[in-house]
C-alpha cells in the first residue's frame, strides 16, 4: 500500500510498490537512491498524493496548502474600516486579511498595487495608532501624507529628521528613514515611544545584507522592529538578484518556515548552490527554487501580479535596442569570468559605482577596474547615438522616461534635451524638490522628458504620463531595473509600457544585459507562481 509521510528535513516521502511507481512519476516526485524512496519538498506536488497520507501528514499538508492558496488571493469578504470617501480594492482587502491572520507578513505585491494602503488598512482593522514606519528617505513625507489620508485611528504623525531628533511627546506614529536608524541617538529617541502596535518596514529588500548596520538596527537583536507587536514588511522586489537576499527577513520573521536551514550557510547551500573552494564558502546558482517559493508563501509572503488583479492594466514589454558606435569591444576572458561570478559582480560593482570600498581577490582587481572604466567609456561614446534615438522617439510620442546611471550622463542628457523642458531626479536633487519634478512631468504638457538616476528615481514615484522608458544605462540588479520600469507600469497607465535598453553590441553592455535577463528568470521562478520572460528582438 502506497504511503505519503512528512519528515523533519522538509521533504514528503512516498513509499510504494514497484508496480505503483507510476503514481510517483506522474506526480513529479524525485527518487532518493540511498533511502530507496520517492520524495518532494514541493507542497503542490505532495498535495496531489494527499490521499495516501496518514492523518497527521494529511492535516498538516492541508493547512499548508490552504496558506499557500491564500498567499495569492485577490479578494476577501473581510470588513475593514476606511475613511469617508475612500474604498479599498478587492485585492487590497485580501492583503489586509493576510496581515490580520499572520503577526508578521511580507507583502510583496508587484509595484503599483497599493502596498502602502494595504499596510495602513491592517492598522485600521485593529484600530492601531501607535505605528513605526521605516522607509527610504525620499518616501518619508509620502508615507505621512498617505497615513493622514487613509488612517481611521487618528494618529499623531511625526517624521523623524536628523541624527539627534526632537520628537514631540504627543506623537504616536513615527516615520523614519533607513539612513539614520543605525545611529544610537535615533534608536534611543524612538525607543521612548515603545511599544508600538505595528511596525511597517517599507522597501524591505534594503535589509538583504545581514551584516549591514541598518539591518542590525532594525531586525537584529534588540532592533527597532522588536519594539512592535505586529510586523508588516513591504517590497515589490523581495529578491532582487539571488535567494540568499531573502535570508535576513526569513531568519528574523519566519524562521520556522525554513527549518532545518536556519543558519546562513545551510540556507545558502540549500537555495543558493553554495560551495567551498580554497578561498572559503562561495555562492552559486539558485537551487530548489520551487521549494523556496512554497516556503515563502506559507503564512509569510503574499505576492500578486498586476496582471492578476488589474485586468485592464496594459502589458509591459522589455526590448533590447542594439547600437553600433564603431567601438570594438570584445571583452577580455578575465572580465567575462568576473561577470559570471554573481556574488562578486553584484556586490563589488555596486560598491564601485557608489565610490565605496570593496573586497575582492587580488586577481580580480584589474578586471574590476577594466569593467568600471569600460562601462563609463561606452556610456560616453554612445551618448550621441542615444540622443538621436531619444529625439526620434519624441517625434512620435508625447513624453519619454529616461534612466541613466552616471551623474555626468544624467547631466549631459538634461543639457542636450533642454528644449523638451526635462524633469530631472538624481542623487544631488533635494528630496523636497523631487516631488515637484514628478508632478511637473505628470501634469505639464511642455515637460516632455523625465531623466532619472535609476537608484534615486527608481522607487516610490509615479510616472504614468509616459509609456516609453528608455534606459541609456541600467543597474546590475534585475530587481532595481524592474522597480524603475514600474514607475510607468502601474495604476493609471492606459498604454502598453515599452522599456528599451540601448545596448552597444559586442561590449560589456551586451554581456551584462544578457546576464541580467537570466537572473531575472531565476527571481521570477522563486517569488512568482507563473513566470515567463520574452526577450524582444
Residue 143 pLDDT: 92
Q: How far apart are CA 500 and CA 99, in angstroms?
A: 37
Cell of 329: 569591444
* H/E stretch holding 449: strand 449-453
* H/E stretch holding 252: helix 247-253
Pairing state of beta strands 37-40 and 131-135? unpaired
Sign of CA dihedral 215, 220, 222, 227: positive
* H/E stretch holding 135: strand 131-135
Residue 530 pLDDT: 39
Q: How far apart are CA 450 and CA 442, in angstroms?
A: 9
pTM over 0.85: no
Q: How far apart are CA 271 and CA 391, in angstroms?
A: 45
Percent of the chain whose pLDDT exceeds 70: 90
Is-contact 176 117, C-beta < 8 A? no
Q: How far apart are CA 262 and CA 247, in angstroms?
A: 9
Over residues 257-295, the pLDDT tens digits come to: 898 899 999 999 999 999 998 888 999 999 988 889 888
Phi, psi angles (nearest 5°) of residue 451:
-120, 120
The stretches in the chain having pLDDT less than 70 are 326-371, 529-537
Residue among 100, 129, 132 at smallest CA distance from 201: 132
Query: Average pLDDT of the chain?
Result: 86
Residue 531 pLDDT: 34
Residue 369 pLDDT: 64
Sign of CA dihedral 195, 197, 203, 205: positive
SS3 category, 269: helix
Q: How far apart are CA 148 and CA 382, in angstroms?
A: 46
Residue 510 pLDDT: 81
Residue 326 pLDDT: 65
SS3 category, 104: strand
CA dihedral 490, 491, 493, 497 (to 10 degrees): 20
SS3 category, 81: coil
SS3 category, 527: helix
Cell of 484: 524603475
Residue 360 pLDDT: 53
Residue 533 pLDDT: 32
Amino acid at each position: 500500500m502506497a504511503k505519503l509521510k512528512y519528515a523533519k528535513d522538509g521533504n514528503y516521502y512516498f513509499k510504494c510498490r514497484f508496480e505503483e511507481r507510476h503514481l510517483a512519476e506522474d506526480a513529479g516526485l524525485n527518487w532518493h537512491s540511498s533511502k530507496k524512496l520517492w520524495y518532494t519538498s514541493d507542497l503542490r506536488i505532495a498535495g496531489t498524493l494527499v490521499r495516501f497520507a496518514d492523518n497527521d501528514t494529511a492535516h498538516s499538508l492541508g493547512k499548508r496548502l490552504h496558506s499557500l492558496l491564500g498567499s495569492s488571493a485577490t479578494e476577501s469578504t473581510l470588513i475593514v474600516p476606511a475613511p469617508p470617501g475612500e474604498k479599498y480594492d478587492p485585492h487590497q482587502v485580501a492583503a489586509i486579511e493576510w496581515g490580520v491572520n499572520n503577526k508578521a507578513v511580507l507583502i510583496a505585491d508587484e509595484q503599483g498595487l497599493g502596498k502602502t494602503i494595504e499596510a495602513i488598512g491592517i492598522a485600521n482593522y485593529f484600530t492601531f495608532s501607535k505605528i513605526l514606519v521605516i522607509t527610504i528617505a525620499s518616501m518619508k513625507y509620502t508615507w505621512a501624507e498617505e497615513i493622514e489620508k487613509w488612517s481611521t485611528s487618528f494618529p499623531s504623525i511625526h517624521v523623524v529628521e536628523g541624527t539627534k531628533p526632537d520628537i514631540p511627546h504627543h506623537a504616536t506614529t513615527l516615520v523614519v528613514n533607513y539612513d539614520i536608524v543605525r545611529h544610537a541617538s535615533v534608536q534611543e529617541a524612538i525607543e521612548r515611544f515603545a511599544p508600538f502596535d505595528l511596525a511597517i518596514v517599507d522597501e524591505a529588500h534594503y535589509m538583504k545584507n545581514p551584516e549591514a548596520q541598518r539591518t542590525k538596527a532594525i531586525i537584529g537583536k534588540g532592533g527597532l522592529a522588536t519594539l512592535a507587536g505586529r510586523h508588516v514588511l513591504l517590497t515589490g522586489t523581495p529578491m532582487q538578484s539571488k535567494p540568499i537576499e531573502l535570508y535576513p527577513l526569513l531568519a528574523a520573521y519566519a524562521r520556522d518556515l525554513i527549518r532545518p536551514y536556519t543558519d546562513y550557510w545551510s540556507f545558502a547551500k540549500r537555495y543558493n548552490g553554495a560551495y567551498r573552494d580554497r578561498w572559503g564558502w562561495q555562492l552559486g546558482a539558485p537551487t530548489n527554487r520551487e521549494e523556496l517559493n512554497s516556503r515563502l508563501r506559507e503564512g509569510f509572503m503574499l505576492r500578486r501580479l498586476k496582471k492578476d488583479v488589474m485586468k485592464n492594466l496594459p502589458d509591459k514589454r522589455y526590448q533590447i535596442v542594439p547600437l553600433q558606435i564603431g567601438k570594438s569591444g570584445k571583452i577580455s576572458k578575465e572580465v567575462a569570468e568576473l561577470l559570471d561570478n554573481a556574488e562578486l559582480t553584484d556586490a563589488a560593482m555596486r560598491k564601485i559605482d557608489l565610490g565605496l570600498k570593496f573586497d575582492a581577490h587580488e586577481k580580480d582587481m584589474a578586471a574590476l577596474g577594466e569593467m568600471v572604466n569600460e562601462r563609463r567609456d561606452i556610456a560616453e561614446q554612445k551618448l550621441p547615438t542615444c540622443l538621436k534615438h531619444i529625439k526620434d522617439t519624441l517625434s512620435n510620442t508625447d513624453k519619454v522616461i529616461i534612466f541613466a546611471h552616471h551623474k555626468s550622463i544624467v547631466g549631459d542628457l538634461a543639457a542636450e534635451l533642454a528644449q523638451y523642458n526635462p524633469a530631472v531626479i538624481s542623487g544631488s536633487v533635494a528630496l523636497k524638490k523631487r516631488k515637484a519634478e514628478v508632478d511637473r512631468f505628470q501634469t505639464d504638457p511642455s515637460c516632455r522628458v523625465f531623466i532619472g538616476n535609476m537608484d534615486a528615481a527608481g522607487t516610490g514615484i509615479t510616472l504614468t504620463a509616459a509609456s516609453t522608458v528608455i534606459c541609456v544605462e541600467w543597474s546590475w540588479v534585475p530587481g532595481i531595473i524592474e522597480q524603475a520600469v514600474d514607475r510607468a507600469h502601474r495604476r493609471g497607465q492606459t498604454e502598453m509600457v515599452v522599456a528599451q535598453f540601448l545596448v552597444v553590441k559586442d561590449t560589456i553592455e551586451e554581456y551584462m544585459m544578457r546576464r541580467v535577463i537570466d537572473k531575472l528568470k531565476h527571481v521570477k521562478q522563486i517569488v512568482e507562481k507563473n513566470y515567463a520572460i520574452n526577450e524582444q528582438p
